[in-house]
Structure 1
Amino acid sequence: MNIPILDLKRQYTNLKDEIGQAIQGVLESTQFILGPNLKELENKIAAYCNVRYGIGVANGTDALELTLKALNIGEGDEVITTPFTFIASAEVASKVGAKPVFADIDPDTYLIDVDKIEEKITERTKAIIPVHIFGQMCDMDKMMKIAEKHNLYIIEDSCQAIGSEYKGKKSSSFGIAGCFSFYPTKNLGGYGDGGMIVTDDEELAAKLKILRAHGSNPKYYHSMFGYNSRLDELQAAILNVKFKYLDEWNRRRREIAHRYNEKLKVKVPKEATYEQYHTYHQYTIEVDDRKQFEDYMKANGIGTCIYYPVPLHLQEVYKSLGYKKGDFPNTEKACKRVISIPISPEMTADEQEHVIATINNFFK
């Protein structure tokens, strides 16, 4: 039995007719940029998050970077985030001229340890980017109290957490803005790159729409240096089709995850104790001999992936920040031990049982 970590073809096959009609509609309209499909998606995602504005952009990284830019965060400023994440969460601060500052993670949830944030705040700190890693939300009550106390922006990195909730509120509905990625492997993924910013702030939304289109409003009249970062109509049309199934897919992911939790004889993901709704973008376990386990799974036809093998503070590109091994022990330990196993809404019960049996056999 061959079980990839994610089977995008199976999902496409299930939606092939709907997707085909949506694509054909865009092709026949010949409106490919900033058209009705994007407006529909922006409205849907904003309403889903219970905020007023959605701004479609080219990818999740741009969503974060444009938000920093629109908030005038740049040279000399600092942005606090986690070292256990994809580099985009910190890279965007560097790209606007600010300095990323890291705080260690909780070893059980892999989320930034909110109790370690305040000690990182200086007079140069302007924002915190909490990353809702693997689909689980950070402790937003504590996060918002810190932000309010120190007059900081919260920009939620929800790129892995669309549909996730904290105390009944959707991800990206807490801070000044929240950012999503529609990369193909995400819980809501397109067939190429794509991203979106959501916000309740009218002025910020207006500025983001200008920034995504070369700083122009109206067209060819440029008030600022901007970006070429727009979510195109083809991707928006595809995402409008898939959005209808998002909640159902997330429920299925949770069912699979909870079955793993019950059956696997290994360190399984831990959900935070506060009220929240984990959408399991990844199902990540920990093992002592990861290379041996990875090879064993591959030999048994089961896909795995490591998110993430090198913490951000030890990446070559961030040598200039002066971090060293041992600075963030929880992150460094996780990066040596974590490995993600197959989870997707289309996974069958037989496939999951095979994964469970294979893993448990390894640990006999």
Structure 2
Amino acid sequence: MTINWSGRAFDYNDEEIAVLVEAARHADPLTQGKYLEQFQKDFSAYLGVKNCFAVANATNGLDLAAILSGLKKGDEVILPGHTFCASAIPFGRTGAKIKWADIDPETRLISAESIEKLITKKTKVVVPVHLYGLMADMKAIMALARKYNLFVIEDCAQSIGAELSGKKAGTFGDCGVFSFHGQKNLTTLGEGGTIVVKSAALAAKIPGLRHNGARPYTQKREHYWIPAMSNVDLDIEGVWPYNFCLSEPQSALASAVLKRLDSMNDKRIARAEYFRKELEEFPEISFQKVRKGYKHIYHLLSAKYDGKIFGKSNNDLIKSLFYEYNIKAIVQYYPLYRYPLFQKMGFGKANCPNTDEFYDNMISFPFHLWMSDDEFSYILESTKKALKTLRGGKK
């Protein structure tokens, strides 16, 4: 048997399955109903915010955030080059110029320092991505945003429940976007997401943008069916609306799973911290630095392998784990500026040495929550054996 990086998507409990079945049987209508409203209230309460909107996936949320930011052709947006492609594509669609910021070599996240190097008079938006479950330094980034009048969109796809000084990811910037994809810490049948918005004025535009511009008539009518059941209008002049709705069964399931999100995150944290501690005798393996005041919720367990002193690379470690121990670790998040998509769209140039250095030496261990304790122990012990072998007798 091979222990895969991804594992099965999610392990719903009996209570959550019952909630899903109940909603599938009784939801009326199947979108934009009471379950959606309830989940938005629940998620708002969890984060401690006012304006939360469920969407079909996090990319939809980023599309909405890009629209709300007012980005247009000739503007500039700053993003990390080290992230999943969906972090950048919605901003490319606006016609704005994407500028790739380097990552901090210790946290492996975008930083205020790397952002400020790229700011020009055309810079309008910055998108910090809280990758792997650890938040970027949002205090410093927000101070920078105030200095240069930048719109800040937090990509929290991998950081539901992560914190900085007790304040949750997604609550610092102008917008925060979350993912409920099947691989995430909270998932709604494979896809789903939310966008939270700080400005009440911008929040008022989302229901229409999310649902084909549909809205009730505001004027008094003699008959409810005249001129039509509902109105369709623009929320932002010149911007076509979308259909980004999350279904009622998915919304009901999200509320149910949210109840145990923190306990699931706690289990991830405990396992990750144990894994890291057990590998401290191997300094050639380094994990993200978690500075004081940060809560890392370990959506993924990524590391850098620096085996140059032993004449080895991350490929040697991954090869050993797979062919000798049937453990399928991976390398992920190819720098976006190396992809044909972004190169063909004119965004193939970057000065990101830390990003290149990390990617060219990174490894992501299997770390899904549903692996057994025995499987987890096997991965840890096998990693130790592989690292010792790759040392070739050196220390």
The normalised TM-score by structure 2 is: 0.86
1:30-41 paired onto structure 2 within 5 Å:
30-31=27-28, 32-41=30-39
Identity %: 33
Other-structure match for 2:328: 303
Q: Kindly provide the amino acid, as one letter, of the partner of residue 16 in structure 2.
A: I
Does structure 2 conserve the Cα–Cα contact (< 8 Å) formed by 1:283 and 1:340?
yes
- Structure-2 separation of matches of 1:181 and 1:38: 16
Deviation per residue, 1:175-202 (Å, 9 max, x gap) = 1110001001001112121110012321
Moved more, 68-77 or 135-144: 68-77
**8 Å Cα contact 2:98/2:347 also seen in 1:** no
Counterpart AA for 2:86: A
Quick check: 1:161–1:281 contact (8 Å CA) kept in 2?
yes
The 8 Å contact of residues 288 and 303 in structure 2, kept in 1 or not, is answered as: no
Counterpart residue type for residue 280 of structure 1: Y
- For 1:286-343, what per-residue CA distance to the aligned partner results, in whole angstroms no more than 9, with x for missing partners? 23523333233223232323222x2112222222536447x21111111212121122
Deviation at 1:54, TM superposition (A): 0.9
CA distance in structure 1 between the aligned counterparts of 2:8 and 2:152, rounded to whole angstroms: 33
Residue in structure 2 matched with residue 144 of structure 1 by the alignment: 142
Q: Distance in 2 between matches of 1:322 and 1:71?
A: 21
CA distance in 2, matches of 1:134, 1:313: 20
Structure 1 gaps of 5+ residues are none
| 1:230-245 alignment runs, 5 A limit | 230-245=245-260
The aligned runs of 1:1-364 (5 Å cut-off) are 2-8=2-8, 11-12=11-12, 15=13, 17-31=14-28, 32-218=30-216, 219-223=230-234, 224-264=239-279, 265=282, 266-287=284-305, 288=307, 289-299=313-323, 300-308=325-333, 310-319=334-343, 320-321=345-346, 323-324=348-349, 327-364=351-388
Q: Matched residue of 2:152: which SS?
A: strand
Secondary structure of 1:117's aligned partner: helix
Tell whether the 8 Å contact from 2:10 to 2:182 is kept in structure 1 after alignment: no
| CA–CA distance in structure 2, aligned partners of residues 163 and 10 of structure 1 | 17
In the aligned structure 1, how far is the partner of 2:317 from the partner of 2:250?
37
Q: Is the 8 A contact 2:9 2:182 kept in 1?
A: no
Partner of 2:223: none
Between stretches 3-12 and 339-348, larger displacement belongs to 3-12
Residues 240-284 of structure 1 show CA distances to partners (whole Å, capped at 9, x for unaligned) of 221111000111111011111111234231333241100000001
Q: CA deviation at 1:34?
A: 1.1
Shift of the alpha carbon at 1:150?
0.7
Task: Give 1:72 deviation, angstroms.
Answer: 1.9
CA shift digits 1:24-79 (9 cap, x unpaired): 21222142111111111111111111110110111111101111112322222111
Listed as ranges, the gaps of 5+ residues in structure 2 are 217-229, 308-312, 389-395
State how far apart, in whole Å, the 2-side matches of 1:158 and 1:313 are.
21
Give the direction of change, closer, same or farther, for the CA distance of 1:10–1:129 in structure 2 (3 Å limit).
closer
- Rounded Cα–Cα distance in structure 2 between residues aligned with 1:274 and 1:64: 29
Name the structure with the higher helix share. Answer: 1
SS of the aligned residue for 1:268 comes to strand
- Alignment partner of 1:8: what SS? coil
* Matching residue's letter, 1:339: I
* Cα pair 2:10 2:183 within 8 Å, conserved: no
What is the distance in 1 between the residues matched to 2:373 and 2:211? 46
Name the aligned partner's letter for residue 5 of structure 1: W
The answer for the alignment partner of 2:310 in structure 1 is none
Secondary structure of 1:40's aligned partner: helix
Contact 1:126–1:152 (CA under 8 A) maintained in structure 2: yes
